[in-house]
Amino acid sequence: MLVVAGTLTACGEKGSSGTAAPATATAAGAGCAPEKGDVLVVLTDDKKLQNADNVVAVVNTAKSSPALLAAVDKVAAALDTPKLVALNKAVDIDRKTPAVAAKEFADANGLTTGLSGGSGAVVVGAAGFAESVTLAELYKLALNAAGFKATVKKSTNREVYEPAIERGEITVFPEYAATLTEFLNQKANGKDAQQVASGDIDATIAALKPLAEKYKLTVGTPSAAADQNAFATTKALADKYGLKTLSDFAAKCNGKASVLAGPPECPQRPFCQPGLLQAYGINFGNFFQADAGGPLSKGSLKNGNASLALVFSSDSSLTPA
């Protein structure tokens, strides 16, 4: 995902397929050798290694209103990560348009009932990838149900659309809490600003709100749905060792037979291999160079080249363990 890929760059050293793990992560136990399989499962990040990139609405403060916030907050309340995965599957795999997928979800979850008090035009922004457009379509449906005249306007990257929200050219945008927090943090305090986002969504939102206010933005209620870095394995390996969480992987698969797959920078980034070692005590015998949550990483699991791989939590091809 476009937005989450930015988070990964805070997550790794250049390695090559099958190279030995760095000396800082010397494997000591037996580990879990890769198990081929077409079904991939995401292990729960129970110690919150990753930043909380929950979906949250950001609104131009001058154009905000209780009716508008109630509409986008109703969308937030209806979403969790499995539902976001299902929405992405409807678009990515079932080939429905974002508008159709959003309408079906809205009908099934009552998003257009009990809303009122809105009037006037609202421009809902969307970034240049399907998940963002689908979320924007959900906002549009709820806002129209509240009495607004909402339209969706597609944009590109955060450097382009965030100033447009400040100017009021875009009224509301589906954002990702931790990524937006650090974007505004660096905008306010420089590229070397100390990180204020974390794996705690409440603490991240508390850090985000004053930064948003500085740029005349209002933040809605965060959704339980998150699109963030995650780690997956095959269902075959998860079933073999009874794995549901990264703590389970640490307890049963810490050691030299285990292979981690990810982008070239993974062995030195704090949200990737060093983070797994520091937060969970997981050692790997080898690192398999792949990509950031894309087909190479998922293929490394399916083909039996990796025991664990970096993915994205809302990927439509994945399921919870």
Contact call for residues 33 and 293 (beta carbons, < 8 A): no
Tally the C-alpha atoms within 13 A of residue 208's C-alpha that lie toward its C-beta: 31
CA distances 91 to 98, 101, 102, 314, Å, are 6, 7, 10, 13
Q: Regarding beta strands 121-126 and 284-289, do their DSSP bridges make them parallel or antiparallel, or are they unpaired?
A: unpaired
34 with 129, same domain: the answer is no
CATH number at residue 124: 3.10.105
Q: What letter represents residue 8's amino acid?
A: L
Task: Name the residue among 155, 129, 98 with its Cα closest to residue 294.
Answer: 129
How many other C-beta atoms can be found within 10 angstroms of the C-beta atom of residue 13?
A: 14
Among 172, 199, 219, where does a domain finish? 219
Q: Regarding beta strands 149-154 and 121-126, do their DSSP bridges make them parallel or antiparallel, or are they unpaired?
A: parallel
pLDDT score recorded for residue 28:
57
Q: What angle do CA 205, 130, 106 make, to 5 degrees?
A: 75
Contact call for residues 87 and 105 (beta carbons, < 8 A): yes
Cα–Cα distance for residue pair 85/145, rounded to 1 Å: 25
Q: What is the pTM of this model?
A: 0.83
Q: Regarding beta strands 172-176 and 55-60, do their DSSP bridges make them parallel or antiparallel, or are they unpaired?
A: antiparallel
Q: How many domains does the chain have?
A: 2
Task: Identify the segments of the chain with pLDDT beneath 50.
Answer: 1-27
Cα–Cα distance for residue pair 96/314, rounded to 1 Å: 17
108 with 210, same domain: the answer is yes
Cα–Cα distance for residue pair 59/118, rounded to 1 Å: 15
Give the contacts of 295 (CB within 8 A, at least 6 positions apart). none
Q: Which residue is listed with tokens 């979403």?
A: 79
271 with 302, same domain: the answer is yes
165 with 143, same domain: the answer is yes
CATH number at residue 10: 3.40.190.120
252 with 158, same domain: the answer is no
Q: Which residue is listed with tokens 């509301």?
A: 172
187 with 315, same domain: the answer is no
pLDDT score recorded for residue 16:
32
Contact call for residues 72 and 57 (beta carbons, < 8 A): yes
> Which burial class, exposed, middle or buried, applies to 167 when counting CB atoms under 10 A from its CB (0-12, 13-18, 19+)?
exposed
213 with 249, same domain: the answer is no
- 213 lies in which domain range? 55-219
Tell me the three state secondary structure of residue 96.
coil
Give the contacts of 212 (CB within 8 A, at least 6 positions apart). 58, 180, 184, 218, 219
Cα–Cα distance for residue pair 247/95, rounded to 1 Å: 36
117 with 248, same domain: the answer is no
197 with 73, same domain: the answer is yes
Task: Output the six-digit token pair for 316.
Answer: 């439509």
pLDDT score recorded for residue 14:
25
